[in-house]
Structure 1
Amino acid sequence: MNTVTDTVHSRLDDRLAQGDIRLLSTDVAQRRLAALSPLRLAYVAQDGTPRVVPVSFHWTGEEIVMGGFAPSARGRALRANPRVALTIDTDEQQPEVLSVRGDAVVTEVRGMVPEYETYMRAGMPAEAADAYFAELRARDVLMERIAVRPDWVGVVDFTTRYPAAMPEWLRS
């Protein structure tokens, strides 16, 4: 790594305001988007109550994509009210947190949602994954591809970027 470049990049990251989609290019955001851990998807259910659910995902470089079987209550709710918030974080101290807001676009797919297969295979032994996906293909499943294109991004790492309300004397 080039220390001068890293320092300049870090300073630029520090100057970007929460909400700036350019935060997706930060090291913290890139680590969270490449993680195998699930994200937490917040949305409003059709009965008007809030929901937060853990969901596996795949980052395409433009969209955060989740997949599931159709028809689903989640898909119906997202079609009715597509505004969502996503969080991808860590359990470690100091935690890293990537928060994203955007609109979910739900598309029905006959057969496999490609991104679903990508992230599911990443967490399964190859033989088990092959059997699982062969069964899904044989059944000609109907799936939902849920894609979120970020329009607001927040990053907190408790090292260089802190929550806005955190007192200055607690930082570092």
Structure 2
Amino acid sequence: MRRDEVFEVMDKPISRELLGSSIPARFSYVGLDGGPRVVPIGFHWTGAELVMSTVPTSAKVKALRANPRVAITIDTDSFPPRVLLVRGSAHVEDVEGVPDEYITAARKVVPDDEFAGWEAGVRALYQRMTRIIVTPGWAKLLDFETTLPKSVEDLMRARQG
């Protein structure tokens, strides 16, 4: 998929809504044992990259250093479903302190009246974190009104023809 096509999908109104929502990303990667893994994780969309942060010693950091290929889903539980699918490669970098994107992502879920205490606790806990940066290389939005999974589109075309 060309970069402009990817960002055309990422810039659709429903995609922007999902990217700005409090819904966690379902982040999938390949574990060091070769098995699939998927974890919910907070994220921040910069307009060009999905940025997540975690503990430097986490299993996902070790696995991503060995195999950076990832898939991400951000989806709703309402009807009709809204699903943003993203694939890409993760770049991981250790940073001192707490990345700004981690704080920004948390603003989507931590209540305003608890945020200051939460932030102080996080900054006291983490001396270092790892940023996981994913630049989308492929993206698809499924809104089940104007876009469907390809297999469903193919089935509908076959039934009509």
Q: 3-state DSSP class of the match of 2:148? A: coil
Question: Distance between the aligned counterparts of 1:71 and 1:88, measured in 2?
Answer: 25
Q: Deviations over 1:89-122 (max 9, x none)?
A: 1111110111000000111111011111111133
Range moving further from structure 2, 91-100 or 125-134: 125-134
Structure 1 unmatched ranges of 5 or more? 1-15
Match of 1:73 in 2: 59
The partner residue of 2:129 within 136, 143, 149 is: 143
Q: Rg bigger for which structure?
A: 1
- 2:76 aligns with 90
Structure 2: distance between partners of 1:37 and 1:75:
22
1:108 equivalent in alignment to 2:89: no
Aligned amino acid, residue 42 of structure 1? S
CA distance in 1, matches of 2:14, 2:108: 21
Q: Which residue of 2 aligns with 1:11?
A: none
Give, in whole Å, the separation in 1 of the partners of 2:134 and 2:125.
27
Task: Decide whether the 8 Å contact of 2:56 with 2:128 is kept in 1.
Answer: yes
Q: Contact 2:31/2:63 (CA < 8 Å) preserved in 1?
A: yes
Give the SS at the match of 2:146. coil
Q: Determine the structure 2 residue equivalent to 1:20.
A: 5
For the 8 Å contact 2:93–2:131, the answer to whether it is kept is: yes
Q: Which amino acid aligns with 1:29?
A: S
In structure 2, relative to structure 1, the CA distance for the partners of 1:49 and 1:106 (3 Å cut) is same
In the superposition, relative to structure 1, how do residues 92 and 139 fare at CA in structure 2: closer, same or farther (>3 Å)?
closer
- 1:56 matches 2:37: no
Q: How much does 1:23 deviate? A: 1.0
Is the counterpart of residue 168 in structure 1 residue 156 in structure 2?
A: yes
Q: CA RMSD in A?
A: 2.2
Distance 2:124 2:14 in 1: 40
Count of matched residue pairs? 155
Contact 2:21 2:108 in 1 (8 A): no
Percent of aligned positions with the same letter in both sequences? 42
Q: Where do 5+ consecutive residues of structure 2 fail to align?
A: none
Alpha-carbon displacement from aligned partner over 1:45-69 (angstroms, at most 9, x marks no partner)? 0111100111111101010111112
> Retained in 2: the 8 A contact 1:65–1:145?
yes
Shift of 1:140: 5.2
Corresponding residue number in structure 1 for 2:145: 159
Partner of residue 130, structure 1: 116
Verify the 8 A CA contact 1:100 1:154 in the aligned structure 2: yes
